[in-house]
A and B are shown apart, each in its own frame.
Chain A
Amino acid sequence: MSEYLDMDLLRFTTAGSVDDGKSTLIGRLLFDSKAIFEDQLEAVERSSQQRGDGYVNLALLTDGLRAEREQGITIDVAYRYFATPKRKFIIADTPGHTQYTRNMVTGASTANLAIILVDARNGVVEQTCRHAFIASLLRIQHLVVCINKMDLVDYKQEVFEKIVADFKDFASRLEVPDIRFIPISALHGDNVVDTSVNMPWFKGGSVLYNLETVYIANDYNHIDARFPVQWVIRPQTDEHHDFRGFAGRISGGVFKPGDEVVVLPSGFNSRIKAIHTFEGEVEEAFSPMSVAMTLEDQIDISRGDMIVKANNPPRVTQDLEIMTCWFSEKPLNPGGKYIVRHTTRECKCVVKEVRYKVDINTLHKKEDDRQIGMNDVGRLVLRVSQPLLADSYRRNRQTGSVILVDEFTNATVAAGMII
């Protein structure tokens, strides 16, 4: 029991081109950790046979939708779960087709780590660069590049080293602090769970070993105290007559009772009286805990406000510059109005300017092409109707991210990272 309680959680995303062996790798991780059950495997075997696949098609484990099974493609992000005695893992498995950049962005937005698959025979290709760029854009701190199908190149170290060199050449333009390379054969299991006997020259450990041991505690921001208010708890009972608890999830930093705080955007000062949980009051609260706070002074606070430390506030601004990834089939309308959602705040915005579009294969800025359509990445200037309490995405993923929503269809049309 105690070992279960000491487990932590790693969220990772997987990306690879079609036929890079992504499904095989995930299938093997799940199977070897016993996260695939017999009845699931039997169902997959039955379907594979019916479809005439000629092999057990592990992709059918994750391709759950009728349309996906019919077309033999992955349309959407699938979430898969497995655990080892050390960690629980959440995989956001995203399709690798060119047109599905938006799914990769979605999967990457909550990931601590990204696995990128490279076919050892093909080396670094355009899609590899795109996947790495998206991981970097979404500020994933850890990248594991799996050079797969090593069995088909006779497990040669030179092939591996060449791909590593090519990737590093490209990656010098990215901002990912931790990049690891692992030569694997997903099909035969080399360096997936156990170290490969076929590649004794490789000392970096298996994929699972890296997933289990990568240090992620630093990935949360524990410096800039941020508490976006979600909901005000007012029990209005005799016992808790004057209780006004500001409920929310800590988005950064550490809060303690007695801390001097400022409420934004009003700017009123107060002190934290207590930090409440169902189990009782706690001595400190940090990201990603969900708590409720009471303050020493009676201040008008509602959803969308943010409680921060007096000496370290975020920007209070109506002008934002963002890197966006566009999701909608309807292209961005320059000068158009959208609804913007940021932490617990929602307001309107107008797109003042498209600065440039990024060629996500070469990372070149295209200042002469400012048409932003589905799956495009570009830099925008927004004017919002209410002040937002913003940090740069680089500093804080929670207080530095926005989504844009279509006013009429209510569809989520874009993701934005505040610069």
Chain B
Amino acid sequence: MGPAGLGTGGPLLANHHMSNYQLSHLKQLEAESVYILREVAAQFERPALLFSGGKDSIVMVRLAQKAFHPAKLPFPLLHVDTGHNFPETIEFRDRLAESIGARLVVRMVQDSIDKGRAVEEKGPNASRNMLQTVTLLDAIEEFQLDAALGGARRDEEKARAKERIFSHRDEFGQWDPKNQRPELWNLFNGRKGYGEHFRVFPLSNWTEMDVWQYIALENLDIPNIYFSHDREVFQRNGAWLATSDFLQPQPGETPENLRVRFRTVGDMTCTGAVLSEAADLSDIIREVAAARQTERGTRADDKRSETAMEDRKKQGYF
């Protein structure tokens, strides 16, 4: 089948598996993720699925539907909203939660700032990325969550490449990368002490390409900012950033109207666009296959230092 058949291939291809008791790589990844999601439901009392409206969390929701079908998800969706998200993403988030009958809980970084729990960064590169950790940990405490399901993948970033699927957090929400529990076969050890919790990453073994192929295979709806569109952007530190209420070009930075799309969807202040003509899923898959930059290459939050992600994760970041 040619790329033209991509978008409509869902139902037919969904039942596809190879003969002789073999599963395609996507079906193997799916089976593993469904297993992990069920382990979370079984091993924890109050899990939640961290949902951002981005492509990885959309795939997570589909996998959770598969894990518990025909029942509804046995846990709520939790969004930590920086208030600086793309409006398209927020709209998409609400629509998806409603369509599958899931409970959606939103906690705002703005509230943490108003309560004096977090302090806004200053300067032209100010971002609420770091502040999310405060709001997230507060939400975990508020709902006494003992497991938070995240869509992080090991191919995204080098610290994530070393993180366990069941990743322990101490009573302060901190990750101890040097003292992780060995993870063998499919035996996941979710035992913990009082006040501790786990972050669980069912997409650990997926790559960016797997996610896009799966979205095509399952015919999943995604926010339109992933597809090519016209937008006012300006260049800063080698990334194309979108002009918005939260981010304005500085003197010397020229806004331009360009044809762009986003490869990842995070906070508007730190998510860079890529110049792209990719208008549908098959275009995107072709673009990802040819890409010479990682998808987080456009994320200013990772560029703050060589071990930026590890340092944030130790503090309790996603």
Complex CA gap A274/B66 in Å reads 16
Residue A150 is within 8 A (CB to CB) of chain B in the complex: no
CB–CB A62/B35 < 8 A: no
Q: Which of B1, B31, B41, B161 has the most CB of A within 10 A?
A: B161
Chain B interface extent, by class? 35 or more
* Contact of A62 (CB < 8 Å), options: B9, B26, B39, B161: B161
- Which residues of A sit under 8 angstroms from B1, Cβ to Cβ? 1-2
Residue B6 is within 8 A (CB to CB) of chain A in the complex: yes
Complex CA gap A251/B40 in Å reads 19
Residue A350 is within 8 A (CB to CB) of chain B in the complex: no
- Minimum CB–CB distance from B35 to chain A (whole Å) comes to 5
Evaluate whether A230 and B39 lie within 8 angstroms (CB atoms) in the complex, with A65-B310, A66-B307 already known: yes
CB–CB A1/B3 < 8 A: yes
- Minimum CB–CB distance from A37 to chain B (whole Å) comes to 4
CB–CB A9/B310 < 8 A: no
CB–CB A327/B182 < 8 A: yes
- Chain B, residues 154-190, CB within 8 Å of chain A (1/0): the string is 1101111110000000000000011011111111010
Evaluate whether A411 and B181 lie within 8 angstroms (CB atoms) in the complex, with A5-B26, A222-B21 already known: yes
CB–CB A81/B22 < 8 A: no
Of A102-110, A117-125, A191-199, A352-360, the one touching chain B: A102-110
Evaluate whether A5 and B13 lie within 8 angstroms (CB atoms) in the complex, with A80-B161, A230-B35 already known: yes
- Which residues of B sit under 8 angstroms from A254, Cβ to Cβ? 21
A279: nearest chain-B partner, CB-CB: B14
CB–CB B161/A64 < 8 A: yes
CB–CB B186/A249 < 8 A: yes
Residue A403 is within 8 A (CB to CB) of chain B in the complex: yes
Of A71-79, A141-149, A177-185, A315-323, the one touching chain B: A71-79
- Minimum CB–CB distance from A64 to chain B (whole Å) comes to 3
- Chain A, residues 39-63, CB within 8 Å of chain B (1/0): the string is 1100100010000000000000111
CB–CB B205/A37 < 8 A: no
CB–CB B193/A341 < 8 A: no
- Which residues of A sit under 8 angstroms from B16, Cβ to Cβ? 5
Of A157-165, A205-213, A282-290, A376-384, the one touching chain B: A282-290
CB–CB B42/A341 < 8 A: no
CB–CB B28/A410 < 8 A: no
Interface residues of A, count at CB 8 A: 85
- Which residues of B sit under 8 angstroms from A136, Cβ to Cβ? none
- Minimum CB–CB distance from B118 to chain A (whole Å) comes to 25
CB–CB A412/B189 < 8 A: yes
- Which residues of B sit under 8 angstroms from A368, Cβ to Cβ? none
Residue B95 is within 8 A (CB to CB) of chain A in the complex: no
Complex CA gap A109/B184 in Å reads 6
* Contact of A277 (CB < 8 Å), options: B9, B66, B294: B66
* Contact of A5 (CB < 8 Å), options: B24, B69, B154, B291: B24
CB–CB B38/A248 < 8 A: yes
CB–CB A64/B158 < 8 A: yes
CB–CB A102/B182 < 8 A: yes
CB–CB A249/B307 < 8 A: no
A interface, CB within 8 angstroms of B: 1-2, 4-9, 34, 37-40, 43, 47, 61-67, 69, 75-81, 83, 87-88, 90, 102-103, 105-106, 109-110, 217, 220, 222, 230-231, 233-237, 239-240, 243, 245, 247-249, 254, 276-280, 286-290, 292, 303, 327, 339, 341-342, 344, 397-398, 401-403, 405, 410-412, 415
Q: Apart from A7-B25, A278-B69, what 14 extra A-B contacts exist at CB < 8 Å?
A: A1-B285, A5-B13, A5-B16, A8-B18, A9-B25, A235-B72, A236-B71, A278-B65, A290-B35, A342-B187, A344-B42, A398-B186, A403-B184, A415-B184
